[in-house]
Structure 1
Amino acid sequence: MFYVTFFLTITLVIYSVFVLRRERTEKITKRISLIKGEKNKFLDNSEMIKKENKKQSFLEKWSKILLLKMKKIFESKMKEKKVAKIEMKLMQAGRPFQMTPIEFRLFQIGCAILFPTFSGIYAVFMEFSTILIFVVILSAFVNGLIIPHLYLKSKIKKRNYKALRELPDVLDLLTVSLEAGLGFDAALNKLVSKKKGVLSSEFQHCLEEIRLGKLRRDALLGIKERLLLKEVKTMVSNILQAEKLGVGMVKVMRVLSQEVRQQRKQRAEEQAMKAPIKMLIPLVFFVFPTLFIVLLGPVLIGFVETFSK
C-alpha cells in the first residue's frame, strides 16, 4: 500500500510540473505570434487551447487554479535573496523540468506534506506503536525537505562531470577556430553550432547575454558561477586576463588545451590506481569464500567421514 501511494504521489508531482511547463510554452508561442503579427495562427492556437480546455476534466482545471494561486502566494512571501539562491542552484543543475524557484519551493513543500501523510497512514495500517509512528512521520518530514535539495546536488554533480569531460574537445575546437582567423565571439558561435553539450549551452547563454547588452567580462564570469569546476574557472580567468593584457588568445587557448588534457590523463591514472583497492572488498567477502568452499569443501567432507567411522 505504501509503495502504491508513493508511486502515485511522485507521478502526480511530475505530471503537474509538465503541465506548468506546457502552459509556459503556450504563453511564449502566443507572444511570439502577436509580435510577428500572425493573427490567423494565433486564432488557430486559441481555438485549439479552448478545445483542450473543454476536454480537460474538473480535477485538472481546479489543480491548475490551485497551483497558480499557490505560486502567487509564494511569490509575494519569498524573499529575493532566497529566490536568487534557489535560482542559482537550478541554473547550476541545468534547470531540471524547466522549474522556477517558486515551483521548486512548492515541490519541496509538497514532498514535506505528502511523505509524512503516507508514511503515517502506512505506520497506522502496520499497527506500529505511538512512538514509532511519530518517529516515522518525523523522518518522512525531514526526508521530504532534504530529498529535493539532494536531487539538485546530484544533478549539479552530473552536469559538472559532463562539462569536465567535454572541456578538452571544446578547447581544441576554440583553438582551431581562433587559429583560422575568427574572433572570440565568432569562435564561440562556431562552437555552439558544431558541438552540443553542457559547455556549448553555457557559451550559448553567454553569447545571448552579450547580444542583450551585457559586458563580455560579466557574461563569462556567469559561467564560473553556473559551473563549479576548477578547470572552468581557470579557463575563464585566463581568457579575461589575456583580453585585459592584450595577449594572443590563440597561445592562451593552446596552453589551456594542453594543460586540460594532461590533467585528464592524470585523473585517468589516478582512477586506475584506485581500481585494485576497490576490487579488494568483493574479492575478500564474495570471491575468496566461494573458492574456499568449492576447493576445501570436498576435503572437509571426506575428512569428517573418515573420522566418523
Structure 2
Amino acid sequence: MSLLLLGVALVAAAVILLVLVLALGVGTSGPTGVARSLALIEGTVGQDGVPRSELAARDRLVEPVLDATRRLALRLSPSGAEERLARSLDRAGNPSPWTVDRIMGTKGACLLLGAAFGLLWGGLSLTGLVLCIALAAAFFFLPDLLLYNVALRRQERTSKDLADTLDVLTVCVEAGQGFDSALLRVARTSDGPMAGEFARVLSEIQLGKTRGEAFSAMGERMSLPEVRNFVSAVVQADRLGIPIAKVLREQTSAMRVTRRQKGEEKAQKVTVKILFPLLVCIFPALFVVIIGPGGIRMVQSLFGAGGL
C-alpha cells in the first residue's frame, strides 16, 4: 500500500510540475502550420476555429489543466480574489509571464501538489490527513507570498532610484522640454520601476485619460509615501497651473532628504540588530576561550583539595 501511494504521489507531482513549467512559457507560444497562415490573413485565430492538431502543445495539454485548477482555486478563494491579485500584479510591475488567470491556475496546481506531498509523507492516517490539509493550504498561498516578495523588492528599488529619476526629469524640464516629452525621455533612457510607470502614464494619456487621472492611477499602484507625495504635487500643479519645473525641484530635494533620513534610520538599527548574533554566537565562544581555562584549573584545584 505504501509503494502504491508513493507511486501515485510521484506521478501527480510530476504532472503538476510539468504543468507549472509549461505555464511559464516553455514551448511554442504562437500558432503553427495552418493556424499561423490563418493568423497572417485574418490577424487573430481562435482555438475553436483551428483543428486541435494545429494548436501548440501548451494550448492542447497545459491550458485545459490550468483552466481546471483555476476554477478550483476560484471556488476556494473569497470574493474579490481576482481584483486583489490584479492590484498585487500592478505593485509587482506586472511580470511578463504572469497574469491573473495564470496565477489562479498555479494556486490550484500548488494546492493539489501540497495535498499529494501530505499524503506521501503521512500516509492514510490522521497524521497524513492533517499534513495533507496543512501542506495544501501552505502551497495554495505560496504564489501570493512570492508575488508579495516581488512587489516588496520593487518598492525598495523604487525608493532608492526615485530621487535620481526625478533629477533626470527635472533637468529635462529645465532644459526646455515639455513635461510629457521629459517623461518620455526618462522612460526611454532610465532603467527602473519609475521608468516603467512613466511609460504606462504616457500610454494612459494617449488612450484618453487626463494627466491628473493617469498620475492618480500611478499613485494607487505605488504604495510608497514618497511616490504618493510626488503624484499629489504633480496633480495639484497641473490643476492650479503652477510651473512644473519648480515643483519637480522641490520634490527632488524632499526625496533626497527622505532617502538620507532612511539611511540614518537603518544605521541606528544596526546596533540593535547586531546584539542578538553577539549574544547567541560570539559571546559563548568568548566565554569558553576566556573563562574555560580558569574554570578547568578551579575544578582541578577543588578535586585535588578534596582528594587530599
Q: Which runs of 5+ in 1 are unaligned?
A: 38-48
Shift of residue 307 of structure 1? 2.8
Look up the match of 1:64.
Answer: 62
In the alignment, residue 90 of structure 1 is paired with which amino acid?
A: L
Q: Does residue 1:180 correspond to 2:178, yes or no?
A: no
1:98 partner SS: coil
Preserved CA contact (<8 Å) 1:178 1:250 = yes
Gaps of 5+ in 2: 1-5, 44-52
Q: Distance in 2 between matches of 1:252 and 1:79?
A: 43
Q: Specify the alignment match of 2:299 in structure 1.
A: 304
Stretch moving more, 274-283 or 149-158:
149-158
Match of 1:43 in 2: none
Q: Tell me how large the CA RMSD over aligned residues is.
A: 3.5
Pairs aligned (count) = 283
Aligned to 1:255: 250
**TM-superposed deviation, 1:92:** 1.4
Cα offset, 1:13, TM superposition:
4.6
C-alpha change, 1:195 and 1:107, in structure 2 (3 Å) is: same
Higher helix share: 1
Aligned equivalent of 1:121: 120
Question: Which stretch of structure 1 is more off in the superposition, 167-176 or 3-12?
Answer: 3-12
1:299 Cα deviation after fit = 1.4
Q: Please, which of 206, 226, 239 is the counterpart of residue 244 of structure 1? A: 239
Separation in 1 of the partners of 2:232 and 2:27? 36
Query: Helix, strand or coil: the match of 2:253?
Result: helix
Q: Does the 8 Å contact 1:83/1:101 carry over to 2?
A: yes
Question: How far, CA to CA, are the matches of 2:138 and 2:148 in structure 1?
Answer: 15
* Aligned twin of 2:21: 15
* Inter-partner Cα distance in structure 1 for 2:13 and 2:290: 47
Contact 1:174 1:187 in 2 (8 A): yes
Distance 2:157 2:188 in 1: 18
Contact conserved, 1:191 with 1:200, CA < 8 A, in 2?
A: yes
Report matched runs for 1:152-167 at 5 Å. 152-167=147-162
* Whole-angstrom distance in 2 between the partners of 1:133 and 1:120: 5
Indicate conservation of the 8 Å contact 1:224/1:236, yes or no. Answer: yes
Residues 17 and 99, structure 1, Cα contact 8 Å, conserved in 2: no
Residue 169 of structure 1 corresponds to which residue in structure 2? 164
Partner in structure 2 of residue 84 of structure 1: 83
- 1:22-33 aligned within 5 A: 23=29
In the TM superposition, residue 10 of structure 1 has moved relative to its aligned partner by: 7.5
**So what's the TM-score if we normalise by structure 1?**
0.79
Percent same amino acid at aligned positions? 28
Q: Pick from 169, 184, 193 the counterpart of residue 189 of structure 1.
A: 184
Q: Secondary structure at the match of 1:260?
A: helix
Q: Distance in 1 between matches of 2:140 and 2:71?
A: 20
Q: Does 1:200 align with 2:206?
A: no
Which range is displaced more, 8-17 or 292-301?
8-17
Between the aligned partners of 1:25 and 1:259, the Cα distance in structure 2 is: 51
* Letter matched to residue 218 of structure 2: I
Note if contact 2:201-2:214 (Cα within 8 Å) is conserved in structure 1: yes
